[in-house]
Amino acid sequence: MSELNQDTTPLFDAVKKYVDDMVVQFHVPGHKQGKGIEELKDYVGDKVLRMDANAMKELDYLNNPTGAILESEKLFADAFNADKAYFLVNGTTSGVQAMIMSSCNPGDEVIIPRNAHKSAIGGIILSGAIPVYVQPEISSRLAIPMGVTVDNIKKVIEEHPHAKAVFIINPTYYGAASDIKSIVEIAHKKGMAVIVDEAHGAHMGFNKDFPITAMEAGADMSAASIHKTAGSMTQSSILLLKSTIISSDRVGQILNLLYTSSASYVLMCSLDIARKQLATKGCAMLDRALELARWTRNEINKINGLYAFGKELIGTPGCYDFDETKIGVNLKDIGLTGYYVESVLRKDYNIQIELSDLYNILGIISIGDTKKSVQIIVDALANIASKANNKDALGTIIIPNNPKVVVSPRNAFYSPKKVVKLEDAVGEISGEMIMAYPPGIPIVCPGEQLSKDIIKYITILKNQNCQIQGSSDPYTNYIKVLDIK
């Protein structure tokens, strides 16, 4: 039994005392408990703005915690089966960057799936590491990337025996999980750290019906978005460490480079409370979320032409396990794109989904959902499908192969660049990332060669009114490429 009491909230208690003491503020923030921003106070209320305090002894310091924040982080580590936990108030992006920078020095190789989030590329640029990409498996039916296979990871490790770290996504945005435990065993035998982007898996360790977590699998570090699936406020995440390869001193030094010196106590309190809730009631709450997800998936699959994919994918390439709270719906058989259906759901039904792609939409069922909310999405999809023409509007679209890496991301980032029209960029070396957002997986990264297929794919996404991000031109009519003399 743990000696720590998971029913406590040390930081939240400290902030509540600060608010109740009616402290007279002669410190930042300048709104002074909301008195300096009346319009916002009138809308959100007085108390949340009184919680918006500055770092001080009674509330502890995120950059060097010794009091309430440290106690809350210890409770997080205990609840998530880690040795140490670190609050993040810049989302899991900062955690992913910290993991790469903690495990790699400039010039070190890191083995990483090509469908990693843009934050991983940012971490590679910041660290100076050299990416060794692993191709994720692609579902031909769904036209989406899945996880990576143990055999592919093992092959790349054998080809790059001096790599310092293996980066894994657990699970993918769409819910597929790789055999992370086997990957950890293989990597550790070669002395490589395993670092895990668990942005969409923060909830998984609190109910046996979910895939295994990174910490349970023996990984060295993981970064988890508590705000995405586990109840805290947007932008609040956690970084977890349990390693004999990566030292806590190194992690602390890296975080002090990345951390803000003005961390939000509102966000950190939401982390404290979300952890308590997960540790004390999480299993039952996730039972309910799974019940709703299974009902929703079953009802959607009764609708002619729709396919809500789930655990039947387990055993297919790149899917060792599956998170059922990810409700992906394939639309190809009703002849509509995911981008179109996302737009219709918002405009005509007042529903906002998590993401869309050419053939699919994705909704997230969480601990905050109800039978009423899931019934609304089922009814809306049934209505949309009944009006569809059931003809493939796109035909077969081939997802481009991994681009050729010509220059390291870091060197490309700092190289001179020029601007060219997108259609004229075939053969050029990209100077920036281009991605559909969400999910934020780069189609091309700095230092990679732009092929005809990549340009064609980007053009298709633009024509479907997909949200393209990363390029300095917000419409992606132009792209920055390396100006190689």
413-437 pLDDT, tens digit per residue, is 999 999 999 999 999 999 999 988 7
- With 50 as the cut, is the pLDDT of residue 328 above it? yes
Q: What percent of the chain has pLDDT over 70?
A: 98
Per the CB < 8 A criterion, the answer to whether 29 and 52 are in contact is: yes
Spelled out in words, what is the top-level CATH class assigned to the domain 10-278?
Answer: alpha beta
Full-prediction pTM beyond 0.85?
Answer: yes
Tell whether domain 409-482 is in CATH 3.40.50.1970: no
- What is the model's pLDDT at position 352? 97
Going by their DSSP bridges, the two strands 109-113 and 165-169 should be labelled as parallel
368-397 burial: b if 16+ Cβ within 10 Å, else e: ebeeeebeebbebbeebbeebeeeebeeee
- With 80 as the cut, is the pLDDT of residue 68 above it? yes
- Which H/E stretch holds residue 224? strand 221-224
Tell whether domain 283-386 is in CATH 3.30.70.980: no
Task: Compare 123 and 389 and report the one with higher pLDDT.
Answer: 123
- With 60 as the cut, is the pLDDT of residue 271 above it? yes
Segments of the chain assigned to CATH 3.90.100.10: 409-482
For residue 394, what pLDDT band results from cuts at 50, 70 and 90? Answer: low
- What is the model's pLDDT at position 441? 85
- What is the model's pLDDT at position 463? 85
What mean pLDDT is predicted for residues 367-394? Answer: 91
- What is the model's pLDDT at position 65? 96
- What is the model's pLDDT at position 484? 83
What mean pLDDT is predicted for residues 180-205? Answer: 98
Segments of the chain assigned to CATH 3.40.640.10: 10-278
For residue 398, what pLDDT band results from cuts at 50, 70 and 90? Answer: low
- What is the model's pLDDT at position 435? 87
Distances (CA, A) of 374 to 301, 356, 380: 14, 18, 10
For residue 1, what pLDDT band results from cuts at 50, 70 and 90? Answer: very low
- With 80 as the cut, is the pLDDT of residue 290 above it? yes
What mean pLDDT is predicted for residues 153-182? Answer: 98
For residue 3, what pLDDT band results from cuts at 50, 70 and 90? Answer: confident
Per the CB < 8 A criterion, the answer to whether 317 and 149 are in contact is: yes
Neighbour-count burial of 60, counting CB atoms closer than 10 A to its CB (0-12 exposed, 13-18 middle, 19+ buried): buried
Closest residue by Cα to residue 466 from 436, 422, 434, 423:
436
- What is the model's pLDDT at position 402? 80
The chain-wide mean pLDDT, for the chain, equals 95
What mean pLDDT is predicted for residues 445-473? Answer: 90
What mean pLDDT is predicted for residues 163-185? Answer: 98
Q: If DSSP codes are grouped into helix, strand and coil, which group holds residue 468?
A: strand
Q: Which of 8-17, 164-173, 318-327, 459-468 has the lowest mean pLDDT?
A: 459-468
Q: Give the number of other CB atoms < 10 A from CB of residue 139.
A: 20
Strand partners, 98: none
Instruction: Tell me the H-state helices in 194-247.
Output: 214-217, 226-229
